[in-house]
Amino acid sequence: MLGALGEVFRAHGYEGASLALITEATGLGKGSLYHAFPGGKEQMAEEVLASIDAWFVREIYEPLRAAADPRQGIAEMFRGVDTYFHSGRRVCLIGVVALGSARDLFAERVKTYFVAWVDALAAALRKFGYAQAEARHLAEQVVLEIQGALVLARAVNDPKLFTRALERSQERLLEKQDGGVKQRRRPHIANR
């Protein structure tokens, strides 16, 4: 249900997703929709964004933090991201909203989605051996690359560009075996 709604917003943006398109995609009449979402379209989008946010927290951010081996946790993040975005054929609704004019309506949700992502990844990178400041910059960099790859892949209509970007991003992150020596903050005791 929220899934079908999300696909409509993804395909047409917040303003472009008319109730006519929504009824068509969900198979529900306006009456049913307004029964489920008294707040109308804005509430629909809000709940869709919330469910996406929750999905990422549950499936990506928390495993990333909980992973005993940060290297493996990060690898799983990239796998999860590749799956979620259908290897570059699916766009990021949060990113779409962030760029659109509906951004102000959902500013808080959009912000926390990205902040939580950067935080979780930075935590994993610290565990991997990077110093705090570098971990933050790298995490920011990776999230930004994913968003940019989605934009560019869609713009030139080449999903493989996304997959390639993910691979390069992951390689660059993990190329230091078990953390860079000079950036290392403290010995990491997991996986032993």
Partner DNA sequence: GTCTATAAAGCGATAGAC
Partner DNA sequence: GTCTATCGCTTTATAGAC
Binding residues (CB under 7 A) for DNA: these are 17-21, 27-32, 34-36, 38, 40-42
Least distance in angstroms from the C-beta of 35 to DNA:
4
Task: Pick one of a second copy, DNA, none as the site partner of residue 42 (Cβ within 5 to 8 A by kind).
Answer: DNA
Shortest CB 27 distance to DNA, Å: 7
In the chain, the amino acid numbered 102 is A
Binding-site partner at residue 36 among DNA, a second copy, none, CB < 5 to 8 Å by type: DNA
- Least Å distance, CB 108 to DNA, is 19
**Beta carbon nearer to DNA, 30 or 172:** 30
How far apart, in whole angstroms, are the C-alpha atoms of residue 89 and residue 106? 24
User: What is the contact surface with a second copy in residues (CB under 8 A)?
Assistant: 11-13, 15-16, 91, 94-96, 98-101, 103, 107, 110-111, 113-115, 137, 140-141, 143-152, 154-157, 161, 164-165, 168
